[in-house]
Amino acid sequence: MKIFIDSADLNEIKKYLNWGLCQGVTTNPTICLKCGVKGGWEAIKQRTIEIANLIKPRPLSVEVTSVNLEEIIKQAREYSQLAENIAVKITITDNLGNSLLPAIYQLTKEGISINVTAMTTFNQAILAARTLRSGYEEANKKPNFSFISIFGGRISEEQGVEQAFKVIKNTRDWLDCYGFDNIEIIVGSVRTPENVELWSRTGAHILTIPPEVLAKSLLGARTKETVAQFLDDAKKAMEELKK
């Protein structure tokens, strides 16, 4: 299982690269704003390039800002020209429930890496996977990455953690059963260390974890106390060895 960092902060991303805990990055305009990026679309593009260069060949997942099919395709093409390791996030439907699979299919056929996102059901996930596979089977140039993002936290809020676990695990079983080897499941909206523990047992390929949740996941109730005891014991032992 891989970990993607949900951030647009270069120093934060560097930190987790140095820890070996960053196999990719996901971002969006809201995250960019939180990380101090200002200057509109040009500033977002510049930060996108900076992150992509920092983490390559690992994937950077970036988000379109429209639900209009033509605008989605235009933005995705623009993003794809910025770096080879970019995957473009596109929601499975628009805000009215209309399918965005036509744009996803077209872009995948063009060899553009796509992350179909904002999914909360098994049916959405397998339909997205089928569209991605159909697209890259017809592509002259195969996409470098193909992702389907299931929002575990949002499912949990509405239907409970058991249902979220079931959706993610059943999707992974389906992908394996039908040989969808080139499509990876990303679990998004990971909000707590408990989510990390649960979703990592579903067979998901990737967890997208915000830095604050990653930091909390390193904490253990007795770890600091144990380390302090180790150091104290070692110091006493070294003093005895000198005698």
Residue 81 backbone dihedrals phi, psi, to 5 degrees: -80, -15
224 is catalytic: no
Contact present, 195 and 150 (Cβ < 8 Å) = no
Residue 110 tokens read as 């063009």
Neighbours of 91 (CB within 10 A): 17
Q: Kindly report the CA angle at 212 between 84 and 30, in degrees rounded to 5?
A: 55
Residue 109 tokens read as 């056929």
Helix-then-strand count for the chain, H and E: 11, 8
Residue 114 tokens read as 């796509």
Residue 30 backbone dihedrals phi, psi, to 5 degrees: -65, -45
Q: What is the dihedral of CA 23, 28, 32, 37, to 10 degrees?
A: 120
Catalytic position from the list 89, 166, 216, 224:
89
CA dist 55 and 129 (Å) reads 26
Q: Kindly report the CA angle at 13 between 142 and 23, in degrees rounded to 5?
A: 40
CA dist 115 and 73 (Å) reads 13
The catalytic residues are: 89
